[in-house]
Chain A
Amino acid sequence: MGCVESMNYEILMRHGSFKECREYIRQHFKEYIDVQPGFKIFDIHLIGIPPITIGLEADFIIFPYTKPCHGTFLLRVEDTVEAARLRAAKK
């Protein structure tokens, strides 16, 4: 998951629980998709209790990123190609 560190990301929530992140996405973003753990986004296999919710807002992707020592972070990353791929997966 080393690539996350090199991304231009914004942290929307830090040290939250996985469930808090899921609820935050569902409450704050009209567009979201549910995926299973292990779903690959960028070069990351998502960690979490199913379903994992990913938010979409224009070209921004909002997703939970879990680290063993620091809990789950909710990240917001801009990526046109990945956002289009997720929208296609949603259909």
Chain B
Amino acid sequence: MLGCPQVPVQTSIALYLINRLKKSGFVPVVAGNKAANTLLVIADPERHYIGEIMDLDRAVAMITEQKRDFDRCFVFIHNDAGISYAGTMGAISKAKLFTLVYGEHYEDLVKQIDFPCTIIAAKAIHNPLPLKKAIDEVTPWAV
């Protein structure tokens, strides 16, 4: 579940995470707003990484109406809206919830997360490596 693509690392980390999930046997589905989804689609024109991709609010509607659900949910967070979306997923979905917290104010955002989830956090803005490292350290990975 993508947030606003304002912070550059999101698209890079999303592609990395999709690849990592696929290698672990998961079938990733991306949900984001138009800008976030378009950034991904343009970066992966032959769909080597991206599979199904959908509108963020449509995903929330489908899960709420119990038309669909998932095993794992990774929510990208770099602002208050991201926390609201993660809190929503924690309430409406049975998925094991992971929050990817990044950006300039990632520590303040982590303090606001008071619902059950696995927090993966790093001060990553332009350089995705700190967040990639934090993702790699989640052990046993995403299980």
Contacts and interface: CB of A to CB of B under 8 A. Distances in A.
A72 B81 contact: yes
B61 A72 contact: no
Nearest to A1: B57
B87 A50 contact: yes
B80 A47 contact: no
B6 A66 contact: no
Contact-residue bracket for chain A? 20 to 34
A78 to B, nearest CB: 23
Contacts of A66: 81, 84-85
B6 A18 contact: no
A22 to B, nearest CB: 11
Contact of B88 (A1, A19, A48, A70): A48
A47 B6 CA distance: 20
B110 to A, nearest CB: 14
Interface in B24-47: 32-33, 35-36
Nearest to B33: A68
Interface of B: 2-4, 6, 32-33, 35-36, 56-57, 60-61, 63-64, 79-85, 87-88, 91-92, 112, 114-115
Given A37-B92, A66-B81, 12 more contacts: A1-B57, A36-B92, A38-B91, A49-B114, A49-B115, A68-B2, A68-B4, A68-B32, A68-B85, A69-B6, A71-B80, A72-B84
